[in-house]
Amino acid sequence: MENDAAAFAFHDLKPEPARFLEDVVAGLGRPQKALSPKYFYDDAGSALFERICTLPEYYPTRTELALMEHHGDEMAGLLGHGSLLIEYGSGSGRKTIGLIERLKPAAYIPIDISASQLRSFAAQLARRFPALRIAAACADYSRAFDLPDLPLPPGTRRIAYFPGSTIGNFTVEEARGFLASTRALVGRGGAMLIGVDLKKDEALLHAAYNDTQGVTAAFNLNLLARINRELGADFDLAAFSHRAFYNRDADRIEMHLLSERPQRVTIAGRTFAFRAGETIHTENSYKYSVEEFRTLARAAGFDSERVWIDGQQLFSIHYLAAR
């Protein structure tokens, strides 16, 4: 643990270095080559994602922000003041500040895999809310880890916050497992506030993941650039292109990197062959109906007691009560 001059505690659980090479080699060795989307978020990738969130085609961020603005008081009333707020994937925290202003939690634990972005956000937050106890945890929340220990009064309610549509990056079975582990974390009487992207017209989805400025393509290709930088690989980025499409059978957007020609790539002494047209599967983004997600949450030990949906029915935020 490190203490920062901006009055927050920083716990670096070093989630990436030991696993990055292992995960990349394992993923590229599969019949359908794949890389985990959690590795998108180095400094360059995090900056590109922030740009994606402002694109005209990318509806989730602005829609969720509007829902938080319009219904934030009601959300805070359900969650309750004086709680321990635990946020998965805090990123730049643009949705979190308004929630904290309304919720007035006793303490806040932001969790993110990007150490530099997490430290920057925690410092910003500590300056804005000097009385708020903040314990930032640099960790991979898709794997088990211990939360920082904060001395709080007995019975302090635990609230998990998972904004964005990141739950869609998990398969349905993985999402059920993640929700179940979150239910165990918050305990009986705890709660979760979670963003869930809804099923919609395929043209809207296609545009959101294939923006005209090419920012999403750059974000996807940066994953290969990161492997080159950090693992000494020799990917030729000009030989790969971004592909994103809606898989109707699975109700998900899939992002891939397509090999434009036959080629070989070397990583840590291992060589991986690519056929022309072969892809690396880099991300899923599952879409749910409200009732489908309610059923999923129920199976994990939560009841979806309140759902907020925008007028165009693009996005939803669920208040889940742990039973």
Closest CA to 53 of 98, 100, 94: 94
Q: Is the pLDDT of residue 211 over 70?
A: yes
What was the pLDDT predicted at 315? 98
In the chain, % of residues over pLDDT 90: 87
Residue in this structure with the two tokens 């060795």, named with its chain if needed? 29
Residue 2 has pLDDT above 60, yes or no: no
The amino acid at residue 193 is L
pLDDT per residue as tens digits for the range 104-132: 999 999 999 888 889 999 999 999 999 99
| CATH code assigned to 2-13+55-200+287-322 | 3.40.50.150
The tens digit of pLDDT for each residue in 182-206 reads 999 999 999 999 999 999 999 999 9
Over residues 226-284, the pLDDT tens digits come to 999 999 999 999 999 999 999 999 999 999 999 999 999 999 999 999 999 999 999 99
Per-residue pLDDT, averaged over 300-307, amounts to 98
Beta-bridged to residue 283, according to DSSP, are 255
Residue 7 pLDDT class (50, 70, 90 cuts)? confident
Q: How buried is residue 125: exposed, middle or buried, by Cβ count under 10 Å (0-12/13-18/19+)?
A: buried
Return the minimum-mean-pLDDT range out of 90-94, 131-135, 252-256, 308-312.
90-94
* Separation between Cα atoms, residue 296 and residue 293, nearest integer Å: 5
**DSSP secondary structure of 104-144:** --SEEEEEES-HHHHHHHHHHHHHH-TTSEEEEEE--TTS-
Per-domain residue ranges for the chain?
Answer: 2-13+55-200+287-322
